[in-house]
Amino acid sequence: MKNNETEITGDLYNLLLNPATRDWERSLLRAAKTGIDNGANFDDQIAKLEAELRPLALRNNLTPDVTDFYLRITDDPAAGNSFDLSVHYQEDGPYQARAIFAGGCFWCMVEPFETRPGIIAVISGYTGGHMDNPTYEQVAGGYTGHVEAVEIIFDTRVWYYKELVELYWQLTDPTDEFGQIADRGSNYRPVIFVANEVQQAIAELSKQDLAESGKYKNPIVTKIEPATTFWPAENFHQQFYQKNPKRYKKLKRSRQQFLAFQRMQTKLRLGFKRLRNKNRTH
């Protein structure tokens, strides 16, 4: 085990105090820590804990912070380092601004923005709800009113806000108000959260242009709402595409296939429409 005893013991203590830890997870963690505190062999206690957590870990059914802990004690490469959230709490520089978009699972909303020049940071989180410091389980359960979203900090010398909104439309289905593609539920609803009147005017005009473009048969239902507190998600969710590339690729492929099929339908529909109009003029 590469992690030292002091770090793991500290992790156990922090998880016991973490309000997001489930009661049954906490009971297993407490038993391991108590055993270590009482002089039991450290490696034996951690190995026992790993075995007890393994069935749920294999089914991706541990809470995010406990998942990170499990990956660390099993020396899984996906564990990685803690994501640096300091940029989220800093004031924006003279050439920095922020955009907040909700478009289904935030796992699939990071890489399309973060890998482009001029994007300073993309943070996964929760916003638009009525509760402070929400956890993933609370948001996923629909208890807080939040949606999964990404906060994009960008260089205004490279990007106009309008361009980010246009990229957002390409990544989502703006006709689906009950989720996005395979992600169902109010916590996955599509929303553009605007920070000021300028962003609101740009987003509203872009939405109107999209509605008038004829690209979609159904109404554009993506909401445009004032930005509220953005709560960064647990470390496990940050830069998911880097930590879990195989799982991310499957999700990305499924999403791209749906959007590609939707675009193909649009081309066919608009093509038939042009053909009908042409025949009417002859």
Q: Find where tokens 């002089």 sit.
A: 39
Cα separation of 197 and 64, whole Å? 36
Task: Calculate the alpha carbon distances from 9 to 14, 29, 32, 124 in Å.
Answer: 9, 10, 9, 28
Q: Identify the helix (H) or strand (E) that includes residue 183.
A: strand 183-184
User: From the candidates 66, 100, 105, 192, which is the catalytic residue?
Assistant: 105
Give the C-alpha separation, 120 to 191, whole Å: 22
In angstroms, the CA 169 to CA 176 distance is 12
236: part of which helix (H) or strand (E)? Answer: none
Cβ count near 169 (within 10 Å):
21
Q: Please check whether residue 120 is in contact with residue 153, taking contact to mean a CB–CB distance below 8 angstroms.
A: yes
Determine the Cα–Cα distance for residues 165 and 213; give it in Å rounded to an integer.
16
Distance CA 282, CA 275 (A): 11
In the residue annotation, 105 being an active-site residue is answered as yes
CA-angle at 116, arms to 111 and 122, nearest 5°: 50
| Residues catalogued as catalytic | 105
